[in-house]
Structure 1
Amino acid sequence: MTHTRPAPRVLALYPRRYRAVHGPEIAQLYRDATDGTDTRTRLREQADIAAHALRVRTFLSPRQPLGRFALTAAPYTLAAAVSIAAARTTTATTDALRDMDAAAWPATGALVTYVMTLAAGVSACTGRWPLARLTGAVALLLMRARAPVSGWLVPLLAVVVLMPGAAEPARTDRRLAVALAASTWLPVCAAALAGQSTPGLGMAGQLVPAMAVLGLRTAAPGCRPRHVLAVLAAALPWVTTPAGSPVGLAVVVAVLAAAWGVGRAAGRRGRAA
């Protein structure tokens, strides 16, 4: 059946060339989805079209390189953000309970930001990525209100919020992201429970999780440069501290390059077997 209802005005948000090629198809899908529905449904469909148009304009659709990178990196950057939020919350909780001092608790804004970040991680683990993006956006808004939290959360959560909405990260990336979050948080948790004022993990403790995840992802089938860059981007909070000196930088580059090389060699042997 052919519909005569005009196309929604939000189609104008698409670039002209994209609209010329895909506009009629999008308009027809909109008509099919809203035929006989109420105003709320039509507004929701128009909001979805507008969001997709903005992603196309900002090169964040799943078919564009930047969008594919955001989709690949989102699980890892969210894992890093969750690890940081969990580490700060764990340390503050153990200090407050040990010293019976309420002043050790984070400020309310920081605590809510950490909770929203953890909620985003839980949503992602259960496959609810739209909810993960929403809670990540709330955390970013709280930081916009100057909540005193780690500055690393801003770029890490921004990748999650900007990832393409109609796609889901690959299973391999989701699983390795969980491993990254756990391996970077558990040592901090153990140190906090032991009563250490600082984790004292040293350079090796900061680099080992990033090395392991980088090597495993490089060895996995279908690894592309964007997968390597995604892991490195998420590992920045842990590798920038030891890389603060020339010697530390050399060590960081050497061990990450070694992890990449070992993973690549293992991947080649696996494909040849």
Structure 2
Amino acid sequence: MTDPLLRLYPAAYRAAYGQEIVDVHREMTADMPRAARLRADADLAAHAVRVRLGLDSASRAGRFFALAAPFALAAGAVDSGLHLTRWYAGLVRSPAPVWVQLSTMDGARAAYLLLSLLVCLGAVIALTGRWLPGAAMAVCGLLGTAVQWVAATPSPGEGAVAPVTAALLTAAVVLSCPPDRRGDKQLSTAAGVMAAAAWFPVVVVDTGAFGVTTDYGAWPMLVLALTGAVLAVRARSSGLRELGAMAMASSPLVAHAYTDAWLELRPVLGLFLLLPVAAALTACFQAVRRRR
């Protein structure tokens, strides 16, 4: 079984490491039961595909997605969390009894809320130390959300393109993280702080405690951009890699802003300036810092 799996690797990689891979795999799986051997074969095939796509931990792309993945999870949780809290606020404010509202809720709405809850719980579990089950839960929620949007609004003109694209991109970023770089404690902590800072003030505004009625999704994007800038300053880098990772993770927030702005492009286009502006300011700060 090892030889067919070995062919999944690029030719140059096989020539350099092929025999070593075969020897290690055979030694490791020699005394394994059939089920465990199949899992080991699947891991080897997954690694081969990652190497072929340039997404292994040794590649630049692999390290980039390892940086972006926790923030993609956090951004997905912010989007889903805002949907859940706004639904709950409407439930509490309504003069109708809660049990009446829940009993008359249609199945599609209930499924969407459950999928959003799955994304939030998965992100929390992944960012607090159990990456694999948490990320799997969040990805299932994201893919379920995408399927539901397609089923409910089959016409692209009805606003389904943005949330479907965001859900699929977020799932792809999370799955692209190399296995041996998952669950980095510092990045997970930063992503969790970012999610809390992006979510809580918007919820407070939605309660009517302030005169602001909407921010068109600007606040969560601003928090994401500032997080990238802080990571760049701490790493003493130019900021291009960190802000690029934040841009890769931002699709749920962009989609949320688009739907919040009643599918108007102009407020959302302004949000795209936040990341390049943050990158430019970070690069200027680092240049001044080096001259001192």
How far residue 186 of structure 1 moved from its aligned partner, in angstroms, is: 0.5
Question: Would the aligned equivalents of 1:71 and 1:169 in 2 still touch at CA under 8 Å?
Answer: no
Which residue, 251, 260, 266 being the options, matches 2:282?
Answer: 260
How far residue 172 of structure 1 moved from its aligned partner, in angstroms, is: 3.8
Residues of 2 paired with 1:212 and 1:91: CA distance?
25
Residues of 2 paired with 1:107 and 1:9: CA distance?
46
State the Cα RMSD in Å: 3.5
State which drifts further: 147-156 or 52-61.
Answer: 147-156
**Letter of the 1:54 counterpart:** V
Residue equivalent to 1:134? 136
The question of 1:244 aligning with 2:266 is answered yes
Which residue, 169, 175, 200 being the options, matches 2:214?
Answer: 200
Residues of 1 paired with 2:69 and 2:122: CA distance?
11
How far residue 229 of structure 1 moved from its aligned partner, in angstroms, is: 0.5
Structure 2 SS opposite 1:145: helix
Q: Which stretches in structure 1 are left out of the alignment for 5+ residues?
A: 1-5
Residue equivalent to 1:113? 115
State which drifts further: 135-144 or 175-184.
Answer: 135-144
State which drifts further: 230-239 or 259-268.
Answer: 259-268
Calculate percent identity across the aligned residue pairs.
26
Question: Would the aligned equivalents of 1:212 and 1:259 in 2 still touch at CA under 8 Å?
Answer: no
Residue equivalent to 1:3? none
Structure 1 SS opposite 2:54: coil
**Letter of the 1:244 counterpart:** R
Alignment of 1:1-273 (within 5 A): 7=2, 9-99=4-94, 100=96, 101-102=101-102, 107-147=109-149, 150-151=163-164, 152-168=166-182, 170-194=184-208, 199-201=213-215, 205-221=219-235, 223=237, 225-235=240-250, 238=253, 244=266, 248=270, 252=274, 255-257=277-279, 259-261=281-283, 264=286, 268=290
**Letter of the 2:206 counterpart:** A
Note the alpha carbon deviations across 1:61-114, whole angstroms, 9 max, x for none: 112222221111101111100100111011111212221433678723312321
Residue equivalent to 2:155? none
Cα distance, 1:70–1:200 mapped onto 2, change above 3 Å? same
How far residue 23 of structure 1 moved from its aligned partner, in angstroms, is: 1.8
Cα distance, 1:74–1:268 mapped onto 2, change above 3 Å? farther
Normalising by the residue count of structure 2, what TM-score does the alignment of the two structures yield?
A: 0.75
Residues of 2 paired with 1:251 and 1:13: CA distance?
41
Cα distance, 1:192–1:9 mapped onto 2, change above 3 Å? same
Question: Would the aligned equivalents of 1:214 and 1:263 in 2 still touch at CA under 8 Å?
Answer: no
How far residue 20 of structure 1 moved from its aligned partner, in angstroms, is: 2.0
How far residue 158 of structure 1 moved from its aligned partner, in angstroms, is: 1.8
**Letter of the 2:60 counterpart:** P
How far residue 256 of structure 1 moved from its aligned partner, in angstroms, is: 2.6
Note the alpha carbon deviations across 1:115-161, whole angstroms, 9 max, x for none: 22112212222222222332233224313532468332321232002
Question: Would the aligned equivalents of 2:170 and 2:252 in 1 still touch at CA under 8 Å?
Answer: no
Question: Would the aligned equivalents of 1:74 and 1:169 in 2 still touch at CA under 8 Å?
Answer: no
Note the alpha carbon deviations across 1:155-196, whole angstroms, 9 max, x for none: 123200221122235444323211221111112221333489
Question: Would the aligned equivalents of 1:221 and 1:267 in 2 still touch at CA under 8 Å?
Answer: no
Note the alpha carbon deviations across 1:207-244, whole angstroms, 9 max, x for none: 54134213211211254632221123334555676982
Following TM superposition, where does structure 1 have runs of at least 4 consecutive aligned residues deviating by more than 6 angstroms?
none
Q: Which stretches in structure 2 are left out of the alignment for 5+ residues?
A: 153-159
State which drifts further: 259-268 or 161-170.
Answer: 259-268
Residues of 1 paired with 2:170 and 2:245: CA distance?
11
Residues of 2 paired with 1:258 and 1:130: CA distance?
35
Cα distance, 1:10–1:261 mapped onto 2, change above 3 Å? closer
Residues of 2 paired with 1:77 and 1:204: CA distance?
17
State which drifts further: 84-93 or 179-188.
Answer: 179-188
Structure 2 SS opposite 1:37: coil
